[in-house]
Amino acid sequence: MSPDTSAAGPAAGQPPRSPSHAVEVDLLVVGAGPTGLYAAYYAGFRALRVAVVDSLPELGGQITAMYPEKQILDVAGFPSVRGRDLVEGLVAQAATADPAYFLDRTALTLAHVPAPDGGSERVVVGLDDGTEITAGAVLVTAGIGKFSPRPLPAGEGWLGRGLEFFVPSFAPYGGKDVVVVGGGDSAFDWAQHLEPIARSVTLVHRRDAFRAHERTVAEVRASGVEIVTRAEVTALRGEHLLEEVDLRVDGEPRTLPAQALVAALGFVADLGALREWGLETDKRHVLVDSAMRTNLPRVYAAGDITEYDGKVRLIAVGFGEAATAVNNAAVDVDPTAHVFPGHSSAL
């Protein structure tokens, strides 16, 4: 749903917050990342009234919060697309559904209630500002839930003084000596993207093996990035801003010049209030069936938050899951509807 953030409201160009009140829609989407935005578009394609809630102040989920400048390589039809450009396209696509956005707000409670006219039951979701949204169905697309970066033990007190956990813009790193700590996709992606503009980039990892995609690892090895393995950061030093990073490499001390350190050590994820809804989980993810149904009636899930046999966590997979969930939810909203409405290209 979001990383920890102190932002007060949506950024310029984003839809404004809707006022606090009772709202009725056909489908409520919880999570405004790529999967949620595509779900909003597809709900419009199914002629459903849709609302989207996210505890981040901006649309785009993890892409906007963490890597808007990153080139994304696994979206069909785009050999490479910058994160912010993908989000911009998804927002424009979702706009065709005229969704109501509730940004910088967290979904807290969920209850099933009978319809006042004696019809099918409805789902009521309460937000942290008192807003209540009543929907025919709910689709949870909350990514990895509420997340916060894993700390760098030696970096305590250095956040904002040279230590960062995300790289929302590459420009501040121009001409600097940069140390990237980690062995996963984010560490290698940021090292690769920073190498052309930084004075130097050193990637530090505690093991010889990496979790990053093999192709990216090979490209970084072939670049000007220095890779230091079997190493750990022992201290950050400088008068006020970061100037040097101390390492222990194979038990031996080494000091690197560094005006910036990116700690890409992964995240601690928390499903937060979603756990209180009674959703069946495997502790980290929501379990769904082939229709993307959860164990709760009229509640679906799609994207990285889901788990099922053979699950692959890719943006492209999330798009397909969103369409599957919306098509099945459409029948909950209107029992006379068909699960498969036909192809959009046939309209």
Q: Is 192 annotated as a binding residue?
A: no
Q: Is 304 annotated as a binding residue?
A: yes
Q: Which residues contact 345 (CB under 8 A, 6 or more apart)?
A: none
Of 255, 267, 282, nearest to 66 by C-alpha is 267
DSSP 279-324: --BSSSSEE--TT-B-SSTTEEE-STTEE-TT----HHHHHHHHHH
Q: Is 336 annotated as a binding residue?
A: no
Torsion of CA 168, 58, 76, 146, to 10 degrees: 80
Query: What's the angle, vertex CA 31, arms to CA 30 and CA 33, rounded to 5?
Result: 155
How far is residue 185's CA from residue 13's CA, in Å, rounded to a whole number? 30
How far is residue 62's CA from residue 266's CA, in Å, rounded to a whole number? 13
Give me the count of residues in the chain. Answer: 347
How far is residue 110's CA from residue 127's CA, in Å, rounded to a whole number? 9
Q: Which helix (H) or strand (E) holds 85?
A: helix 83-95
**Look-up of token digits 């801003």:** 241
**Which DSSP letter does residue 220 get?**
H
Q: Is 107 annotated as a binding residue?
A: yes
Beta strand extents in 150-207 (DSSP E only): 163-164, 177-181, 200-204
**Which DSSP letter does residue 105 get?**
-
- Residue 43 burial class via C-beta count within 10 angstroms: exposed 0-12, middle 13-18, buried 19 and up: buried
Q: Which residues contact 305 (CB under 8 A, 6 or more apart)?
A: 31, 140, 141, 142, 143, 144, 145, 271, 285, 286
Q: Which residues are annotated as a binding site?
A: 35, 54, 62, 67, 107, 147, 304, 345
Q: Which residues are annotated as a binding site for FAD?
A: 35, 54, 62, 67, 107, 147, 304, 345
